[in-house]
Amino acid sequence: MENFDVAVIGAGAAGMMCAAVAGQRGLRVVLIDHATRLAEKIRISGGGRCNFTNRDAGPANYLSENPRFCRSALARYTPQDFVSLVKRYKIGFHEKHKGQLFCDESSEQIIDLLVRECGAGNVTWRRPVDVQEISVGGAAGDAGGRSFRLSTSAGEIGAKSLVIATGGLSIPKIGATDFAYRIARQFGLEMVEPSPALVPLTFTSAGWEPFAALSGLAIEARVSTGKGRSRGDFLEDLLLTHRGLSGPAILQISSYWKLGTPLTIDLLPEFDATARLLEGKAGSKKLVVTELSGWMPARLAEVWVAVHGLAPDARVADIPDRQLRVLGDALNHWTLTPAGSEGWRKAEVTGGGIATTELSSASFESRKVPGLHFIGESVDVTGWLGGYNFQWAWASAVAAAEAIAESRNPAQASLA
């Protein structure tokens, strides 16, 4: 059996970062992944340019049953820290929108950065390798006597600390599995039910029929759902699709949306549509469609008028105030209940995961199983769209790696 200080399972964003930092702090680290292609999610991220962090990332940009859990790690390893690393590797980057930082060239550069950081930490790679079983024993352990024994397709591996960085369930076809959740179950750790997040939302085909023909149409809108602490509210682009709604506004709100509850969409966030319609009524010769087409794409205006039971040639001046109020109010408060989402196949991330009550927010170590850590997307911390999820991967990875180094070798860790 090969023995290591730390075994990290999952060589994605969080796993590579954790292995690299632990290795650079002087620990013997093995990094295991089952996929044939390395870090596929980083490769496809940000449309191939990897939105690797957000300049303004902070606790308010994350969802969790415990919104305070992410604070310590995010404060310890900031977006600026990752930007410094990116600059050290001379990777060109730019800000696209609302603090989102992307590579100028390719997400491969971030993978290459992480591989080289692992090299600097003398990390031992085991991939593609399957982990069949994990057991806890005392044989190869530290002074505390605990160690983990991994049965893998490449033989037995022993480690004093075990870090689970196998991510969530989104996009199974590129290697996502429920491994982290199975390990949590094995050791009796609580979970927050995983759900697809940052995902397009769908409607029943009958309900969506009038809008399906507008697939591809985009409009800036304010979308909200929920109440109190679980309320989401985003002003972003919204995209109509054959089956429902997508685009940044919808991906963001999907993380807050609960099945059976409505979304409210303000299609004209800049002004009060009812007031404008009533004000413009006197002396107007305009068709309603023409009036609305001044405010939104003409194709949407035509469908909007039709679904509100108005003829295509209806004139604003001829419509009773009561009906104009209904039309205007719906433009500012379009309330509709999605039937579901596009699911794991399209979700960018997983909501829920290992309950934060099970973990230390400083070290990500299990309270029940000392030496066992969960990081990255496997944990019940979900970032907004816009680089926040990678920042969580980096920050949780660094916190776990440094805590392990500190516990194994306090003197060396503090020198590093």
What's the rounded Cα separation, in Å, for the pair 294 and 357?
Answer: 52
Binding residue for ligand FAD, selected from 86, 171, 403, 413, defined by CB under 6 A: 171
**Nearest approach, Cβ of 2 to ligand FAD (angstroms)?**
17
How many amino acids of this chain bind ligand FAD (CB under 6 A)? 36
Closest CA to 365 of 1, 12, 18: 18
Listed in sequence order, the DSSP H helices in 9-127 are 13-24, 40-44, 71-76, 79-88, 108-120
> Which residue's CB is nearer to ligand FAD, number 42 or number 327?
42
Which range binds ligand FAD by CB under 6 A, 84-92, 145-153, 159-167, 241-249? 159-167
> Which residue's CB is nearer to ligand FAD, number 158 or number 167?
167
Under rule CB under 6 A, residue 324 binds ligand FAD: no
> Which residues 235-254 are close enough to bind ligand FAD by CB under 6 A?
none
Q: Which residues contact 47 (CB under 8 A, 6 or more apart)?
A: none
**Nearest approach, Cβ of 351 to ligand FAD (angstroms)?**
11
> Which residue's CB is nearer to ligand FAD, number 371 or number 386?
386
**Nearest approach, Cβ of 238 to ligand FAD (angstroms)?**
19
Binding residue for ligand FAD, selected from 8, 13, 103, 221, defined by CB under 6 A: 13
Under rule CB under 6 A, residue 400 binds ligand FAD: no
> Which residues 373-392 are close enough to bind ligand FAD by CB under 6 A?
376-377, 387-390
**Nearest approach, Cβ of 16 to ligand FAD (angstroms)?**
8
Q: How many CB atoms lie within 10 A of CB 229?
A: 7
Under rule CB under 6 A, residue 15 binds ligand FAD: yes
Binding residue for ligand FAD, selected from 6, 24, 46, 70, defined by CB under 6 A: 46
Binding residue for ligand FAD, selected from 69, 77, 82, 179, defined by CB under 6 A: 179
> Which residues 338-367 are close enough to bind ligand FAD by CB under 6 A?
348-349
**Nearest approach, Cβ of 371 to ligand FAD (angstroms)?**
19
Contact 120, 100 (CB under 8 A): no
DSSP 3-state assignment of 277? Answer: helix
Contact 5, 29 (CB under 8 A): yes
Q: Which residues contact 361 (CB under 8 A, 6 or more apart)?
A: 68, 69, 70, 71, 72, 73
What's the rounded Cα separation, in Å, for the pair 336 and 388?
Answer: 28
Residue 315 pairs in a beta bridge with 287
Closest CA to 126 of 37, 33, 36: 33
**Nearest approach, Cβ of 224 to ligand FAD (angstroms)?**
23
**β-strands 62-63, 382-383 pairing:** antiparallel
Contact 349, 382 (CB under 8 A): yes
Q: Which residues contact 291 (CB under 8 A, 6 or more apart)?
A: 277, 280, 284, 316
> Which residues 261-320 are close enough to bind ligand FAD by CB under 6 A?
none
Under rule CB under 6 A, residue 170 binds ligand FAD: yes
Q: Is the peptide bond before 410 cis (omega within 30 degrees of 0)?
A: no
> Which residue's CB is nearer to ligand FAD, number 34 or number 149?
34
Which range binds ligand FAD by CB under 6 A, 8-16, 136-144, 212-220, 364-372? 8-16
Under rule CB under 6 A, residue 163 binds ligand FAD: no
According to DSSP, residue 187 is labeled: T
**Nearest approach, Cβ of 65 to ligand FAD (angstroms)?**
18
Contact 305, 288 (CB under 8 A): yes
Q: Could you give the angle at which helices 388-408 and 79-88 cross, rounded to 10 degrees?
A: 90
Binding site for ligand FAD (CB under 6 A): 9-15, 32-35, 39, 41, 44-46, 50-51, 131, 165-167, 170-171, 175, 177, 179, 348-349, 376-377, 387-390, 393
